């Protein structure tokens, strides 16, 4: 099979030279668009040295059997693909299911990395977690760029400098990495999360857990927050407002799958913060956790700097590319053979991540999903009947 690597509007590259080399060593071919890995510090020679072929973007699109990307292709580029091509990317169909229809043409199959079940067995393939961890780390460093104060406590000849107070809202993968990073920098850290299970993890990192009693907890939410009752939201807002007022840095990470991010910090709460304080909103792409966040922008409101950025992982482009590529490698182990791609839809990871198969929409189509799952073999059927 011929694997294609595109230069994207992102500092990362989906397939690093290491993974490309693995494809080639297994008997496949690799082509790449000039400069595909440049922003991640993989120059073209690192690909050509291992046997990958440089082509124009148009040639990569037309000739590749498999395209693996960070972001989905534009609709006008989908029409350039050969019939039967396989696309792997983060399509986010839960945000816009119509994207499936745009790819359901020309016998194309599409698999979405963000639909991989967030289970223990799939951890090594979980691109969302890999990128969230980097984002949480970078969020703290980004905050220090704008914060006019020290993070750690310092004793100097001129006097003692108190540590900054950091509030992390959402103790998922990104939040936990933000806690660990802020603690390493010497800040006083508090963290809030509606999930009771997060308390122990927060405390294990040396942070104080901010708890509002009566939260709705859903262990099947795949790491996302869940909608809360109005009564809980009211008590939550009151406590958060108190904590936000005292914080030097607030990092928000709470997102609802397929829905706008919950507003955790009102504009009135921003007004109470100390001048010079910083908010880093990692949920900005879905509306933001702060009422005055603007996506992909750094704004200053009421003396507070608000950074809206859901793609901070891309700023650590080399390491993010390496982890992204490693996740892909682990995922493809389920289906890639020397002869090509072989999909066993009895594997829930493959089934749930498939959104379009051979030109037919699978996402949200229960009948189509069932039709893809092979019938049990005679021996298995007998065992099931006996059980």
Pair 126, 327: CB distance under 8 Å: yes
Per the listing, tokens 């009948």 go with 367
Catalytic-role residue among 47, 146, 224, 363: 224
> Does residue 129 carry a catalytic annotation?
yes
Per the listing, tokens 């914060």 go with 147
Pair 91, 34: CB distance under 8 Å: no
Catalytic-role residue among 11, 47, 103, 126: 126
> Does residue 118 carry a catalytic annotation?
yes
Catalytic-role residue among 129, 177, 228, 255: 129
> Does residue 195 carry a catalytic annotation?
no
d(C-alpha 131, C-alpha 163), whole Å: 28
Catalytic-role residue among 95, 123, 203, 371: 123
Q: What is the dihedral of CA 263, 267, 272, 275, to 10 degrees?
A: 110
Pair 168, 190: CB distance under 8 Å: yes
Per the listing, tokens 């980097």 go with 134
Going by C-alpha positions, the residue among 83, 121, 114, 116 that lies closest to residue 99 is: 114
d(C-alpha 2, C-alpha 194), whole Å: 46
Pair 217, 195: CB distance under 8 Å: yes
Catalytic-role residue among 12, 118, 164, 277: 118
HSE-up (13 A, CA, CB side) for residue 15? 29
User: Strand, helix or coil at 231?
Assistant: helix
Cα dihedral across residues 219, 225, 226, 229: positive or negative: positive
> Does residue 123 carry a catalytic annotation?
yes
Per the listing, tokens 């498999």 go with 66
Backbone angles phi, psi at 47, to 5 degrees: -90, -45
User: Which residues carry out catalysis?
Assistant: 118, 123, 126, 129, 224
């Amino acid at each position: 099979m011929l694997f294609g690597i595109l230069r994207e509007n992102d500092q990362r590259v989906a397939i690093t030279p290491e993974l490309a080399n693995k494809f080639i060593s297994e008997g496949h071919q690799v082509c790449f668009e000039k400069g595909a890995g440049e922003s991640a510090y993989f120059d073209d020679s690192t690909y050509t040295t291992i046997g990958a072929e440089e082509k124009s973007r148009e040639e990569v699109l037309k000739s590749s059997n498999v395209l693996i990307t960070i972001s989905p292709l534009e609709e006008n580029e989908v029409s350039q693909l050969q019939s039967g091509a396989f696309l792997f990317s983060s399509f986010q169909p839960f945000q816009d299911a119509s994207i499936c229809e745009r790819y359901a043409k020309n016998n194309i199959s599409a698999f979405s990395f963000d639909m991989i079940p967030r289970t223990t067995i799939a951890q090594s393939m979980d691109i969302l977690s890999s990128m969230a961890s980097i984002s949480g780390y970078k969020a703290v460093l980004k905050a220090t760029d704008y914060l006019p104060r020290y993070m750690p406590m310092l004793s100097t000849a001129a006097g003692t400098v108190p540590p900054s107070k950091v509030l992390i809202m959402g103790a998922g993968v990104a939040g936990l990495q933000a806690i660990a990073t802020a603690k390493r920098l010497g800040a006083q850290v508090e963290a809030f999360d509606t999930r009771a299970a997060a308390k122990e993890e927060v405390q294990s990192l040396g942070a104080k857990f901010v708890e509002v009693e009566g939260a709705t907890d859903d262990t099947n939410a795949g790491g996302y927050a869940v909608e809360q009752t109005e009564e809980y939201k009211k008590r939550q807002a009151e406590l958060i407002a108190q904590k936000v007022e005292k914080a030097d840095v607030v990092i928000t990470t709470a997102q609802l799958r397929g829905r706008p991010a919950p507003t955790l910090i009102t504009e009135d709460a921003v007004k109470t913060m100390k001048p010079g304080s910083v908010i880093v909103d990692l949920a900005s792409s879905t509306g933001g956790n702060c009422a005055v966040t603007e996506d992909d922008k750094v704004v200053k409101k009421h003396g507070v700097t608000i950074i809206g950025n859901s793609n901070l992982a891309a700023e650590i482009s080399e390491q993010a590319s390496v982890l992204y590529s490693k996740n892909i490698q682990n995922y493809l182990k389920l289906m890639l053979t020397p002869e090509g791609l072989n999909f066993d839809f009895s594997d829930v990871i493959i089934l749930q991540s498939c959104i379009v198969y051979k030109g037919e929409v699978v996402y949200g189509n229960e009948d189509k999903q069932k039709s893809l799952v092979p019938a049990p073999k005679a021996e298995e059927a007998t065992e099931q009947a006996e059980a």
